[in-house]
Amino acid sequence: MPCLYPARVDIDVALVLAIGMALAFALTNGFLDAANAIATLVATRIARPLPAVLVASVFNLLGPLFVGTAVAHAIGQLVTVPPGEVVAVIGAGLSGAVAWDLFTWRRGLPSSSSHALVGGLVGAALLDAGIGAVDWGPFHDGRLAGVYGVLIGLLVATVLGLGVAFLLERGALRVMSHASVRFRRPVRAIQWVTSAGLAFSHGSNDAQKSIGVIAALLYATGQTRTFGAPVGFVVLCAVALTVGTALGGWAIVRTIGRRIFPLRSLDGLISQTTSATVILAASLVGAPVSTTQVVSSSVVGIGIGRGRWRHVGWEIVRDIALAWVTTMPAAAFIGALLLPIWKLIPGG
């Protein structure tokens, strides 16, 4: 059951700006999360940046078109506010998420756009309508839901990313210990496939977050009769995600591919396989997860699996962990701070 009450109103300035902010969030999501789909491919020198971005672009677009809308529903039903407040609350929440994404991107820190979006929406909703306006979860109808459900999904995905990568790395080291040089070429070729799979799974999960808030906006303002975004908006969100990858993801690529742990071709293959599997599984069950967190944790798992603790950039890992912990409250604070401004916009 949708959490926002439909109210028939004309299209107004605030609604247009809020939809624009949802696309801006998809763009910054590309800066932070989508870059992870090509980080190991570029860092291990399998591909040049342009071909890698082209592959990521195609499969980022396909992801949200072919893998349902479970994540979009989870995000779109996170807060419940009166119909006249929906646009302002969502607009402020998105603004908080975008502001925090830009801050962490400038510092080259792989932060979680999922955390930022949830935090921004929750902060604006709490200020507007109190604690009862937030779906805290953690379960509805046997599925993860609400704020606690999102946090559980993010935690489980991060642990799985580290654990699965560790096990695969240990197994690969045993299998490849007697392998000849000729096996390097197929490993490099397969890495293109796993990179495409990671981009597809990323699109299936992260693009749906923007789609979910757009669906909530359209439904609450009477522009649609069912909770869902038209295909045109789905494509726009995927395109914004892809443009963000191409324009601004290189700082994150350097952090993931080189600063956490120096990756080889085999390591990149394992990281991509692990991350793509975990994220796609989360998309299918409707759990919004962070591509950044899964990929980062898989790289750490690879470093541990190779028995090279000292080569892991623990200072970078610490900074990333600090960004993860502070993202939700910081975005919530910014979202709440900007809510009065959104209410001054016509239709807000």
Residues 6+ apart with CB under 8 A from 90: 18, 22, 121, 124, 213, 216, 217
Contact of 72 with 292, CB cutoff 8 Å? no
Contact of 214 with 75, CB cutoff 8 Å? no
State residue 3's pLDDT score. Answer: 47
pLDDT digits (tens, 9 = 90+) for 115-164: 899 999 999 999 999 999 999 988 877 777 889 988 898 889 999 999 99
pLDDT digits (tens, 9 = 90+) for 303-326: 999 988 888 989 888 888 888 889
266 vs 65 pLDDT, higher one: 266
- When mean pLDDT is compared across 146-150, 200-204, 255-259, 296-300, the lowest value belongs to 255-259
Cα–chain center distance at 328: 13
Residue with tokens 């580290």: 162
Which residue, among 287, 269, 312, has the nearest Cα to 155 in the 3D structure? 287
Is the omega angle on the peptide bond into residue 138 within 30 degrees of 0, that is, cis? yes
State residue 245's pLDDT score. Answer: 73
132 vs 205 pLDDT, higher one: 132
* Integer Cα distance of 155 and 149 in angstroms: 10
pTM, entire model? 0.85
Residue with tokens 């597809």: 200
Q: Which two tokens stand for residue 95?
A: 């603004």
pLDDT at 207 over 80: no
103 vs 70 pLDDT, higher one: 103
Contact of 19 with 11, CB cutoff 8 Å? no
282 vs 341 pLDDT, higher one: 341
